[in-house]
Structure 1
Amino acid sequence: MNGVNQAWVSYGYDWGNNQYQYRKSKFIQILNGIHANGGNSIRIWLHVEGQTSPKFDSQGYVTGLDNDGTLINELKEYLNIFVFITLWNGAAKGSTHYRLQGLLTDTRKLQSYINHALIPLVTALKYQPALGGYDIINEPEGEIIPDQNGNHCTDTHFLHNSGAGWAGKMYSAHDIQRFINWQAEAIRHNDGTTLVTVGSWNPKSNTDQHGGKNLYTDSCLRNAGGKHDNAASYYGLNKPLIIAEFNQVRGGGWTIDGMFLHAYNHGYAGAWSWHANADGSNTDSFTTQEKGMHALKGKTDTSRGGLVNFHI
């Protein structure tokens, strides 16, 4: 990746509600500058602290992406080089931070965001070739509580006098890890190939080396949020493993193509959806299953087991 942080043109007021048209010239100017100098990627901030997106009701639940319904089309228009979308910002506490706070501390509100904003966003952008990935939150350590007891994943005494919590000591490591885990799982379930990350503030909190501790390991995120995205290696079998029966209708929110892509991208030897006759209420139509198979058509990544020579 060779590029820059755009971050914002107008902090929290760039996307949705027809706002992009007033920022477009600056965004395009930066894209052109990146292209002219051999760059290929950029990082932008989307919701920030919930200033204008997503759409919240009076109780702090999310009901949509934005009031005017323009956000997705604005992003589609903008996606011209690899764009990494940072959803939230934890490095500051502004006047609308209470909206983000609700998502960090109330799982019902977080789920409302996932259902009504994140999944529609991910689904709409999943086939955009210039989508680089999603960064769940920028510098969540700005609002973490240091010096807090906990288990290996949640003890934050190592952050004593580190500067962490500069924007307000508001959230435990567990709060932040769950927030990341739930969104990352929703993204991967609905777009199995998209990259997902977190914008950590300092190596102190994203590596176990040099006196630091990685708060964002897969195991720590899963322990906090309870959401799992298992690879074939999780089962400890020294032999090929096929996911032999599955479907979208009872897939816990997974799309059928997301399921096939998950199998492909996570070391499984194959995927067989249930079932071609489609003669029951718990069975996908064959048309749906064809969509799943088609998601793997032509893939030849030998490192993922995608190209196998059969001699018949």
Structure 2
Amino acid sequence: MWRTILACFVLFTKLLEGARLGIQGTHFTYNGQRVFLSGINKAWEHYAHDFGNGQYNGVKARYEHVFQQLQNAGANSIRIWIHIEGESSPHFDGSGHVIGLDNGGTFINDMKAMLTAAQRHNIFVFPTLWNGAVNQNTHYRLDGLIRDTGKLNSYINHALKPMVQALKDMPALGGWDLMNEPEGELKPDLSSSDPCFDTRHLHNSGAGWAGRLYTPQELLRFFNWQAAAIKQVDPQALVTVGAWSGRVNTDNFGFHNLYKDTCLVKAGGMPHGTLSFYQVHSYDGNDGHFGTESPFVHNFGAFGLHKPLVIGEFREKDGGGMNINQLYDYAYNHGYAGGWGWSETDGNMANMLRGLNHIKTYHNGAHGTVHVQIH
């Protein structure tokens, strides 16, 4: 009898050790239970200078304090920006090719330390690799990766794959966000017979605010190749892109889903280079109201998607007249797979913690649990 009990205990322990955040249909699961991703964006302590080159030592205490605050509020996830535009990582040579993750050789250990701390506080981390919302004076590094496939391959081979290999077994790694708001550098008003590459629906939408630099083909290839590389190293990895608006990740409401599987594969040619879940950001307009593409005026089903959809950025200040409790509550109760408020960096932590506390006890079979114990 004792042998049977011991065997069951060992099996149960192994199951817990092997648990990964996963996807079933249009929702997340962990350890066999449906999960709602309740959390925030940090998104950085020192913009583009938190990881690698020994930099994490200077911000470690701040990150761990944020993880503790999130745990106290009952949250389970966080979005953290990593390379941004290549200011301090990865390591570029003089020709714009990537030769490593960082010049100082601490990048992997920095990320492991951060993920270990997140696990202690039961927080899933979603690293955001790149940023398309701002065109900095170091943008030429990122620009080379988007335009030049040789340079992109150098990043994939010398930085991305080694990073995924080193971190894939870290329990707190929730998934990979390839880029924040690439539409900031997308060319609107492009005409194509293929909806994947037609951006006329973005006329006067604000797309291209950081420079009308890239066609959909260029950006989608950039994502397709990175997603394929991540999944090659870690087939269970979850991958997304932080879209600025619902205008680009639904075929409903008169828009085009640029990030659906067929578009990504068509642009890059990699069959496995697709997204695991969608992510949309939502702020109200100048009139104080959400647009027709906002998740805060629809149920999830209205988007016609067959993968989970996380509301990856929102805040009370631009919340269409809704307070932070109502925003988190709406995300949970209208079929979305998660909600991450914006942002600790911008001084909104106290407000977001109120919203997170508001939903921390939510546990509904139809929408999932917020409480997670990461093993």
TM-score (normalised: structure 2): 0.61
Which ranges in structure 1 are unaligned for 5 or more consecutive residues? 232-312
SS at match of 1:131: coil
Alpha-carbon displacement from aligned partner over 1:276-296 (angstroms, at most 9, x marks no partner): xxxxxxxxxxxxxxxxxxxxx
For residue 218 of structure 1, what is the aligned residue in structure 2? Answer: 261
State the distance in 2 between where 1:98 and 1:230 align.
Answer: 25
State the distance in 2 between where 1:94 and 1:37 align.
Answer: 35
What does 1:1-312 correspond to in 2, within 5 Å? 1-79=37-115, 80=118, 81-150=123-192, 151-229=194-272
For residue 4 of structure 2, what is the aligned residue in structure 1? Answer: none
State the distance in 1 between where 2:106 and 2:188 align.
Answer: 39
Alpha-carbon displacement from aligned partner over 1:231-284 (angstroms, at most 9, x marks no partner): 9xxxxxxxxxxxxxxxxxxxxxxxxxxxxxxxxxxxxxxxxxxxxxxxxxxxxx
State the distance in 2 between where 1:37 and 1:71 align.
Answer: 29
State the distance in 2 between where 1:12 and 1:211 align.
Answer: 36
TM-score (normalised: structure 1): 0.73
State the distance in 1 between where 2:101 and 2:174 align.
Answer: 20
State the distance in 2 between where 1:230 and 1:222 align.
Answer: 7
Same amino acid, percent of matched pairs: 55
Letter in 1 for 2:85: E
State the distance in 1 between where 2:252 and 2:67 align.
Answer: 36
State the distance in 1 between where 2:150 and 2:272 align.
Answer: 21
Alpha-carbon displacement from aligned partner over 1:179-214 (angstroms, at most 9, x marks no partner): 000000000010011100000000001111112111
**8 Å Cα contact 2:229-2:273 kept in structure 1:** no
Which ranges in structure 2 are unaligned for 5 or more consecutive residues? 1-36, 275-375
SS at match of 2:236: coil
Structure with greater contact order relative to length (CA < 8 Å, sep ≥ 6): 2
SS at match of 1:85: strand
State the distance in 2 between where 1:158 and 1:175 align.
Answer: 18
**8 Å Cα contact 2:228-2:273 kept in structure 1:** no
Letter in 2 for 1:67: N
**8 Å Cα contact 2:52-2:89 kept in structure 1:** yes
State the distance in 1 between where 2:213 and 2:168 align.
Answer: 33
**8 Å Cα contact 2:101-2:159 kept in structure 1:** yes
Q: Please report how far the alpha carbon of residue 230 of structure 1 lies from its aligned counterpart in structure 2 after TM superposition.
A: 9.2
State the distance in 1 between where 2:40 and 2:272 align.
Answer: 30
Number of residue pairs matched by the alignment: 231
For residue 259 of structure 1, what is the aligned residue in structure 2? Answer: none
Q: Please report how far the alpha carbon of residue 229 of structure 1 lies from its aligned counterpart in structure 2 after TM superposition.
A: 2.0
Letter in 1 for 2:136: G
Letter in 1 for 2:221: R
Letter in 2 for 1:85: P
Q: Please report how far the alpha carbon of residue 164 of structure 1 lies from its aligned counterpart in structure 2 after TM superposition.
A: 0.2
C-alpha RMSD of matched pairs (Å): 1.1
State the distance in 2 between where 1:56 and 1:14 align.
Answer: 17
Structure 1 segments, 4+ long, off by >4 Å, are none
